[in-house]
Amino acid sequence: MLAIGVCYSVNAFLLVSRPHQRQPQRPSHLTEKLSYNSTLLPNAAFQPPEALPHRYPDMVDTFASYKYRNICNISSLDLHLPFAPLCPDRESMLTAMASGGRIGHDAPYMPRGCDMRWFPTEEICEILSRFEKVIILGDSMMRHVVGSINVLIRKDLGYGAVTDWNFSPEERQDCFCNYQFNVKSCSVQGIFKTSDVAKNDPESLACPADKIDVIIEQMIRFPIPTDELDRLRGLLPPKKPARPYAFIYGHGLWNNLDLQATLDWLDTILDASVQAAPWLSSTSHSRPKSKSKSKGSRAAAIAAAKEERDRTAGFWPRLFMTPNAAGKEKPDEWVVSQGNKALMIFEESVGVEVGRRGVEHIGTWNMTIQSNKFDGV
């Protein structure tokens, strides 16, 4: 049924977008342009994607031109099943993605209520080029995130996440396809910044090397070591750049899902970021003068304090990702403290707390509970 649904979506798109052919004259109600999705199925659980150009990548295998596509045997349609409607804004998309799941074990992922876009590499390059730098901070999960980004911008399913330009024959065999994400064998060969690719293997980049800059700084524990904070500060210029910086955070398992430790970890990073780059802070921007004549207004004081803490006045895009669902190979000694119940509670609590800090959140538990875990944990 899943394959039928995908085929129907593709056929619906091709049907609507086929070349014009001469047809007998018909009544206007049959030929006039419709203001709604004419492929809607009244009793279907999921409607086919809208027949619009920007939805075409959702309905085809965008990995078809990637290196090692056939050997690794991975299709983008294995990962995401498109449907209508698209989410209208970022807030609803994050909620839909965190609430979504799969219809069956290892089935393609679907957000709940509204769909996300599946971006081809060309659009991914364009999105990344909007930022001066994309900084990813966190643990091994975030290393997988940056590895996945590198697979997409290098169009390489075999070695896209790793430094294959300096591999030995044994490493080329051990770190191939899914095995390039093997934490024990291949993590040290992971690509931690796109500038390394631009320096050592520029031809493998599908994006203009001078337009994108993605980097990961691994910060796994709290308290955060001084040298790690110094490296973070070194990434941030004291003066506001021409393009914004974006930040993706991920934390939890290394502090045993201790909510307070995670919040302290995040607060330390946010404070260190503002210290190094004052232009990130709301206080570095001029604010409109209050019309209230009561300078001692308690409500005004609370609002001012919240604005300072949330740092939302400037454009400072930040996203926090909480850990994925636990797999069946999770060691028994960690089932209580890091099992699925603990992960669900942690995800919900983090979402509330980071929102108070002006940071957006995406949960990954629901989207991964029915997926196969490479390492089983």
The answer to whether the bond into 48 is cis (omega within 30° of 0) is no
Q: Which pLDDT score, from 0 to 100, does residue 303 have?
A: 54
Q: Which pLDDT score, from 0 to 100, does residue 298 have?
A: 56
Residues 6+ apart with CB under 8 A from 325: 340, 343, 364, 365, 366, 368, 369, 371
CB atoms within 10 A of CB 348: 15
CA distance 114 to 46: 10
Q: What is the mean pLDDT of residues 53-66?
A: 95
Q: Which amino acid is at 23?
A: Q
* Single pTM value for the model: 0.81
User: pLDDT digit string (tens) for 282-328?
Assistant: 644 333 344 444 445 555 554 554 555 444 446 789 999 999 999 98
Q: Which pLDDT score, from 0 to 100, does residue 291 have?
A: 44
Q: Which pLDDT score, from 0 to 100, does residue 45 have?
A: 78
Mean pLDDT of the chain: 85
CA distance 135 to 208: 18
Q: Which pLDDT score, from 0 to 100, does residue 140 have?
A: 86
Q: Which two tokens stand for residue 193?
A: 């910044």
* Lowest-pLDDT range of 59-63, 146-150, 231-235, 373-377: 373-377
CA distance 81 to 216: 29
User: pLDDT digit string (tens) for 260-278?
Assistant: 999 999 999 999 999 999 9
Q: What is the mean pLDDT of residues 143-157?
A: 96
Q: Which pLDDT score, from 0 to 100, does residue 2 have?
A: 35
The pairing of beta strand 214-218 with beta strand 133-138: parallel
pLDDT at 377 over 70: yes
Angle at 243 between CA 309 and CA 245, to 5 degrees: 40
Q: What is the mean pLDDT of residues 103-124?
A: 95
pLDDT at 373 over 90: no
Q: What is the mean pLDDT of residues 140-149?
A: 94
Closest among 62, 27, 263 to 151, alpha carbons compared: 62
Residue listed under structure tokens 């966190």: 138
Q: What is the mean pLDDT of residues 52-67?
A: 95
Structural element, H or E, at residue 246: strand 245-250
User: pLDDT digit string (tens) for 224-266?
Assistant: 999 999 999 999 999 999 999 999 999 999 999 999 999 999 9
Contact 82, 59 (CB under 8 A): yes
